[in-house]
Chain A
Amino acid sequence: GAGVSQSPRYKVAKRGQDVALRCDPISGHVSLFWYQQALGQGPEFLTYFQNEAQLDKSGLPSDRFFAERPEGSVSTLKIQRTQQEDSAVYLCASSTRRPGELFFGEGSRLTVL
């Protein structure tokens, strides 16, 4: 595809459920980022990959959050035992190099009931 693709676009989960959010970056983009955006706020950094290596995961809010990019392309953000405070839009972005322009997907909106 031409852009960054994220799925699902919308996810409703009951508190305690596990969720998995997928990101397909632009082909050939080495860098991949995950951000969390609460309503009315700016995106907050979660984690960064360069190819398959997770170089920075300091933004992950708890050990319930886990991200992987096993083949250096598609990435998955997994949230275990979801809590209401996890409700947010999760944005994925990719880039050819750092620190340059980021190309964002449309986001996955997670609502935890």
Chain B
Amino acid sequence: SQQGEEDPQALSIQEGENATMNCSYKTSINNLQWYRQNSGRGLVHLILIRSNEREKHSGRLRVTLDTSKKSSSLLITASRAADTASYFCATTYYGNNRLAFGKGNQVVVIP
């Protein structure tokens, strides 16, 4: 079963706008990661945030983590057409090797 749940499921925005996605999880985590998947391709790691971190930046990406609400958000600033993809959050739990993925957000950036 999926541990993370992203919201919203699908997002369509104009190039240059910001895109925000949210993810919730159920139990205490070790870390939370975000991945991107282009249609028909494998997943590409974007960013990892540890349970003791609250915010992390990487280029145009900003990730926040609120462990009290068991949620995370991914912000893509100044979106580009090449950002069109599905975005997944994934979590690992203490004492567990597996990375559990959410259902994903489909983002379409219109040029």
Contacts and interface: CB of A to CB of B under 8 A. Distances in A.
B43 A104 contact: yes
20 contacts: A35-B101, A42-B2, A42-B102, A44-B2, A44-B101, A45-B98, A45-B99, A50-B97, A56-B97, A59-B98, A99-B96, A99-B97, A100-B48, A102-B33, A102-B45, A102-B99, A104-B35, A104-B44, A105-B42, A106-B41
Q: List the 4 shortest-distance A-B pairs measured between CB atoms, nearest first.
A: A99-B92, A104-B42, A42-B101, A45-B98
Interface residues of B, number: 23
Contacts, number: 60
A59 to B, nearest CB: 7
A102 B99 CA distance: 9
A99 B31 contact: yes
Contacts of A93: 43
A45 B1 CA distance: 9
Interface of A: 4, 31, 33, 35, 41-45, 48, 50, 55-56, 59, 91, 93, 98-107
Interface in B39-81: 41-45, 48
Nearest to A100: B48
Given A98-B97, A99-B92, A99-B97, 15 more contacts: A31-B97, A33-B99, A41-B104, A42-B88, A42-B102, A43-B43, A45-B98, A45-B100, A55-B97, A59-B98, A99-B30, A102-B43, A104-B43, A106-B42, A107-B41
